[in-house]
Amino acid sequence: MEQELRAVLIGKQYSGKTSVINTILETSETETKGSTDEHVKREGFIDGRKVSLVETPGWWKTFNPSDVSNISKQQLVRRISLISPGPHAVLIVIRADSQFTEPDWRFLEKYVEMLGLNVWTHTIVIFTRGDLIKREDIEQHIQEDGSALKRLIEKCENKYHVFNNSNHHNRNQVKALLIKIEQIVGKNNGGHIEADMVKVNEVNEQWEQIKTRASFRKSRVQKERSTVQEKAYVRRLEEIRIVLFGWVFGGKSSAGNTILNRDEFAIGGQTTEGKRGFGYEDGRKMAVLDTPGWWKYFASEFNPDFIGSAMLKSVSECKKFPHAMLLVIPADTSFREEQLKIIEQNMSILGDDVWRHTIVLFTWGDKFQDISIEQHIESEGEALQWLIEKCRNRYHVFDNTDKKNRDQVSELLQKIDEMAAENSLFRLNTKNCDEKSHQRNDKQEDLNMEIRLKDVCHFLDEEFKRKAVEITKKIEKLSTDIMKESINLKKWASMEIQPEFQNEPPDSQNELTGPPQQDNIPEPVRTLLEKEFSRWETIIIDGVQESLKDIKSSFELSHAEKMRQSRNAVKRWLQNCYHYLGHTIVKIQAPKSLIKSQ
């Protein structure tokens, strides 16, 4: 019998990895929640040759790989280890009908190299949904100078393949792919990607420990809740008042919409002050307040002033104080010591008592399909675990893509009932607020605390504006590429899509002693800036892409209406970015007395 062919499939969620395996093996499996090892590793015979395929976990947002959650990295290692002694080929799966952007490339390059630096000699790009786009268009995208897709294909030594997964009976496309894999095997003298067994064994051991601790945490939380559930049932709140807090683009508005079961808060829009929404659930009135988000990576002193004032105003001006603070945290990204400290800094404005009334709400729970939230908490490390303990083990998970799932909302309200039964109503009292939040024995020194205003004011404003211009240009190009078949490009190009603002970022050069020097940027600041804007760029580009694809595919809209909605969608996603930057730049230039005194 001929040598077995082994391959692993890597790609975003819903890129078509499962469909590729179905096409190759002539099966009809579907993507399922709670995937087990037997689901992700599948085998078959093609023309007498055994073929083994492993599907790796998909990612959602293409952040910096350092922002990928620990459990996602562990699952990647575990999945790769299932195909022994190692894969001959890595199949990178990309939808042919989606734009492959610069953030996609930056993420994918580092993510794939987690398998080893020699991985590219074993790699083929698979374009799925080849029936929805002309092959000539794919070729054109690949050959476009400087494009992210061209760099990816070149990195893979120009190895790619187009699949039509809707036609499983076309075996020629499968045979052609196997020939390309055989060529990889031949070029590498029959070699395969070697798994680091020390790392694999370590990850598997960690995984068993994580499962044990996660089970214990879940049991402990259930036991703690049972002690107050009867009291909560008796004192069931007739009205529930909720305030949403968290970092910008963390899913607060989506969570508010899920709670209210309607699109009350604009996704990706400008949030500069608290916005209220009202609704009913289980016969009870609900009041939900969405607040502006803070930076994920920059300390609270760099926040635009409107964030802190909006938080205080949102709570202090309420006729009745809230029953629950929901601290919104995305479930699919890393959570490190720096995030914990930043959260404490921002929440401290409400006083120490706020933690007795806080529930951690994990958003984007649909992106973790095969693990529990307890496993994520235990895997992510001490910082997240400490935060959960700080909130007295109160946490919840939302799938914001499934607003029809009202059970997740009912369970959240029940947890709020239990918290209200256990505590008195929240009262705003900042007199005893601990200015030195986070009084623990820290193993990692807080980089943000080392950054003084005098060190950053000479370059941070210019870097902010430069990044904003980069994002705007990428959005303009992406918009043109997506909408080119649906609207008049000349008219589109002539339309101004940059948002208009009352407070434009000022020309800081008049305020500073000299132009910023890139070489003088402190490395901690440069790192934080890149991480912050990597998040923003990814979320904004993905948001624009999804919005424009929906507009483009609409048969009910005229060309003129598509133009109008497209322009508004782009402006909506950009305006939050520009507004935050404008207010941040004003703030970091303003305190000259502070700068002189340092």
Q: What is the DSSP letter of 71?
A: H
Return the higher-pLDDT residue of 329 and 431.
329
Return the higher-pLDDT residue of 526 and 298.
298
Of 160-164, 264-268, 407-411, the least confident: 264-268
Residues 6 or more apart whose CB falls under 8 angstroms from that of 199 comprise: 77
Query: Which range has the top average pLDDT, 214-218, 223-227, 505-509?
Result: 214-218
Residue 511 confidence (pLDDT) above 50: no
Confidence of residue 598 (pLDDT cuts 50, 70, 90): very low
CATH architecture of 5-195: 3-Layer(aba) Sandwich (3.40)
Residues 6 or more apart whose CB falls under 8 angstroms from that of 70 comprise: 334, 379, 380, 381
- The two tokens of residue 575 are 């305006």
Write down the pLDDT at residue 133.
Answer: 76
Residue 502 confidence (pLDDT) above 50: no
Helical ranges in 405-452 per DSSP H: 407-422, 447-450
Number of CB atoms found within 10 A of residue 419's CB: 23
Separation CA 340–CA 336 (nearest Å): 7
The per-residue pLDDT for range 113-145, each reduced to its tens digit, is: 888 778 999 999 999 988 777 777 788 878 887
Confidence of residue 33 (pLDDT cuts 50, 70, 90): very low
Residue 483 confidence (pLDDT) above 60: yes
Separation CA 396–CA 218 (nearest Å): 12
Confidence of residue 501 (pLDDT cuts 50, 70, 90): very low
Q: Which residues are bridge partners to 328 per DSSP?
A: 246, 361
The per-residue pLDDT for range 398-448, each reduced to its tens digit, is: 987 787 889 999 999 999 998 988 876 555 565 544 444 444 444 434 444
CATH architecture of 201-439: 3-Layer(aba) Sandwich (3.40)
Separation CA 150–CA 102 (nearest Å): 11
Query: What percent of the chain shows pLDDT beyond 90?
Result: 28
3-state secondary structure of 126: strand
What amino acid is encoded at 381 in this protein?
G
Return the higher-pLDDT residue of 107 and 512.
107
- Kindly report the average pLDDT of the chain as a whole number: 79
How large is the average pLDDT for residues 363-385?
86
The per-residue pLDDT for range 83-104, each reduced to its tens digit, is: 888 899 999 999 988 888 888 8
Residue 578 confidence (pLDDT) above 70: yes
Write down the pLDDT at residue 2.
Answer: 60
Return the higher-pLDDT residue of 326 and 570.
326
Find where tokens 């959240």 sit.
412
Of 55-64, 395-404, 435-444, 475-484, the least confident: 435-444
Query: What percent of the chain shows pLDDT beyond 70?
Result: 79
Q: How many residues does the chain have?
A: 598
Separation CA 501–CA 494 (nearest Å): 20
Write down the pLDDT at residue 508.
Answer: 38
Give the pairing of strands 41-46 and 49-55: antiparallel
- The two tokens of residue 237 are 């709140």
Cα dihedral sign, 30-35-39-41: positive
The per-residue pLDDT for range 520-553, each reduced to its tens digit, is: 566 777 778 788 888 888 888 888 888 888 888 7
Residue 592 confidence (pLDDT) above 60: no
**DSSP3 helix / strand / coil % (the chain, rounded to 5):** 55, 15, 35
The per-residue pLDDT for range 550-564, each reduced to its tens digit, is: 888 788 888 788 888
Confidence of residue 158 (pLDDT cuts 50, 70, 90): very high
Q: Which residues are bridge partners to 339 per DSSP?
A: none
pTM equals: 0.83
Return the higher-pLDDT residue of 28 and 415.
415
Comma-separated ranges of CATH 3.40.50.300 domains in the chain: 5-195, 201-439
Write down the pLDDT at residue 505.
Answer: 44
3-state secondary structure of 278: strand
Residues 6 or more apart whose CB falls under 8 angstroms from that of 88 comprise: 5, 6, 7, 122, 181, 184, 185, 188, 192, 193
Are residues 259 and 415 in contact, defined by beta-carbon separation less than 8 angstroms? no
